[in-house]
Amino acid sequence: MKSAMLYGAKDLRIVDLPEPSAPGPGQVRVRFGAGGICGSDLSYFAKFKVGDFAVREPMILGHEVAGEVAETGAGVTRVKAGDRVAVNPNQPCRVCRTCVAGRGNLCMKMNFFGSAAVHPHIQGVFRESLVVPEELCHKVPGSTDFRVAAMAEPLAVTMHAVNRAGPLIGRHVLITGCGPIGALTLMVARRAGAATVTVTDLADGALERARALGADATVNSASEAERVTSWAENKGTFDVAFECSGSMAGMHTAILSTASGGRVVQVGMMGDTPVPINRLMSREVDFIGAFRFDAEYAWAVRDLAAGAIDVSPLLTHSFPMAEAGAAFAVAADRAVSMKVHLTL
Ligand SMILES: [Zn+2]
Ligand SMILES: [Zn+2]
């Protein structure tokens, strides 16, 4: 089976791997339909690491996937051959102390596709065939585009981030960074009742898309820097900020622009970096992390299948897996692309 495997920085190869063995009891074999290229895949590709997770052996990339059930093992009841499914890449153990406390996204023994967080690495989903436990398969209607179903993963990330923010109804929201995660956060924040949503980015193309998706204001943090700095005046402007750029500048903007008593949710991933602690402390701004998702995956699939959240404006490009190199180049160019998918 064809797979997109990373051997080093910028060294992505299409390799032919043996077909996986037939699904065992409770397992499902899924034929690849579409897989989204995520910011973390781009980071692995460019730097051979993401945040603190360095790649130590060849790794198949990808964790945002949907496909068609090809075969089911004994005892599988929720899906059958021919069904379209979105596949949840999160496999928490459900028995460790964080799982038992109801926070499966923070599982201490998490298996997550296409991740170098543990060693040996968990191989990713950019491959023709995948054998997974039944409970990871979420059925969608046969009419659902595989690319839309694959968006359940990033959508779940943003639903979790909005959950971490607390009630948004009537609140003024800032989103720093408008890649796919920022754009989805915008849609989810709207759905959660935010009064206004302001979006910053460095790329005018991304801001244009944010306006089309319903942002109240968009600001280019490079060319309109004085507008960004003005948000820090009078003890801050926004009730809640979502930092979705994974950049130090974005994080500083989010913290300085949040009003006293407000909350900043760090969604983007970056290396360790200085934080303006005095501004957090003296204005009682809550600075909290949001990492992956748990129950939100099922909610995301439901909203996508029902059309309650329309992600189609975000789906800018798709490439056959054999052209994964070109797909990664386009995905890395934020001036032209939003979400890029691989298909078979
Ligand atoms: Zn992702
Ligand atoms: Zn666990």
Q: Is residue 334 predicted with pLDDT exceeding 90?
A: no
pTM of structure:
0.96
Report d(CA 16, CA 29) in Å as an integer.
18
Q: Is residue 92 predicted with pLDDT exceeding 90?
A: yes
pLDDT digit string (tens) for 243-262? 999 999 999 999 999 999 99
User: Residue 97 C-alpha to ligand 2 middle, in angstroms?
Assistant: 7
* pLDDT recorded at residue 117: 87
User: Residue 111 C-alpha to ligand 2 middle, in angstroms?
Assistant: 9
* Residue 127 banded pLDDT, cuts 50, 70, 90: very high
Query: What would the two tokens of residue 20 be?
Result: 């996986």
Q: Quick one: which of 211, 201, 189, 217 has its CA closest to 290?
A: 189
Question: What mean pLDDT is reported for the chain?
Answer: 96
* pLDDT recorded at residue 52: 81
Nearest listed ligand to the Cα of residue 103: 2
Q: Are strands 286-289 and 217-220 parallel, antiparallel or unpaired?
A: unpaired
User: Residue 206 C-alpha to ligand 1 middle, in angstroms?
Assistant: 18
pLDDT digit string (tens) for 198-232? 999 999 999 999 999 999 999 999 999 999 999 99
Report d(CA 6, CA 198) in Å as an integer.
37
3-state helix, strand, coil in the chain (%, to 5): 30, 30, 40
pLDDT digit string (tens) for 267-283? 998 888 999 999 999 99
Strand extents, DSSP E, the chain: 2-8, 11-16, 27-36, 49-50, 53-54, 59-60, 64-72, 84-87, 90-91, 111-112, 129-133, 137-140, 172-176, 196-201, 217-220, 238-243, 258-266, 286-289, 315-320, 339-343
* pLDDT recorded at residue 155: 98
Domains belonging to the chain, first-starting first, are 2-151+311-343 (3.90.180.10), 157-289 (3.40.50.720)
Report d(CA 92, CA 106) in Å as an integer.
8
pLDDT digit string (tens) for 22-57? 999 999 999 999 999 999 999 999 999 988 889 999
Report d(CA 268, CA 246) in Å as an integer.
4
pLDDT digit string (tens) for 139-190? 999 999 999 999 999 999 999 999 999 999 999 999 999 999 999 999 999 9
User: Residue 40 C-alpha to ligand 1 middle, in angstroms?
Assistant: 7
